[in-house]
Structure 1
């Protein structure tokens, strides 16, 4: 199962991120359309995201409401409710079905996989979260024991929209690449 994480408070951007448009399309729809090409997909939302709930209802996208007490707590809750799953952040507007398929195929349902990009692939203008020499991206496999990095190769996964500046950049890129 693929679960799109869309229940956060969006405190850095000040508005519900999943419904913000990139290239004229809400980010959640961009991510959902790619994820559903790979397999059964569900959106995890919370009391923090009423507009996202409305979008899911309008578009007939399946969803589940998490307790909304924070990302880690929601992931633990989802793992308990659904078992091991692929986790995709709703704020990755340039994720491709092939990215999700690659991590899904490598997932043994036991060991968690943290999606990472080698820093040499990260576009210079982006400032991703860096850990142990890799950019951490919002595509993961949530297992029940242990964890390892999983290298991806889509440079645009480094653009996870958290600020108004990143939203503006994502919109510009979407218009340039026609996505």
Structure 2
């Protein structure tokens, strides 16, 4: 199962990110359409995201309500409710089905996998979160025993849309890549 994390407060953006458009499509729909090519998909919402809930209802996308206390707290809640799963942030507009497939194949259902990109693959204009020499991306496998890094190869996973500037960049990229 793939769960799209779409219940955050979007404090840096100032508005609900999952419904914001990249390439004339809400980011949530971009992520959902790629994820559903690989597995069953559920969207994790909270009281913080009423417009995202409306979008899911309108599009017939299955969702679950989380407490909305924070990203980690919601992951723990979802793990208790559903068992191990693949998680992806709703603000990764350029995630591809092949990215989901790669992490799904590597996931044993126990050891959590944190999706990372080697820094050499990160486009120069992006400023991702860097940890132990890798860019951390919002695609992970959530298990019950330990954690390992999992290297991905899609450079555009380094673009997590958290700010108005990143949204503008994502729209420029969408125009360039035709998506």
User: Which TM-score band (shorter chain)?
Assistant: over 0.9
Q: How do 1:31-110 residues align onto structure 2 when only pairs under 5 Å count? A: 31-110=31-110
Aligned match of 1:127: 127
TM-score by length of 1: 1.00
Write out per-residue CA displacement over residues 3-59 of structure 1, whole angstroms, 9 at most, x where no aligned residue.
000000000000000000000000000000000000000000000000000000000
Counterpart CA distance in 1 for 2:133 and 2:91 is 22
Counterpart CA distance in 1 for 2:159 and 2:170 is 7
**SS in structure 2 at match of 1:72:** helix
Aligned match of 2:176: 176
Residue 176 of structure 1 and its aligned partner are, at CA, apart by 1.1
Counterpart CA distance in 2 for 1:5 and 1:174 is 22
**Runs of 4 or more above 4 Å deviation:** none
TM-score by length of 2: 1.00
Could you list the runs of 5+ residues in structure 2 that have no partner in the other structure? none
RMSD: 0.3
Could you list the runs of 5+ residues in structure 1 that have no partner in the other structure? none
**SS in structure 1 at match of 2:11:** coil
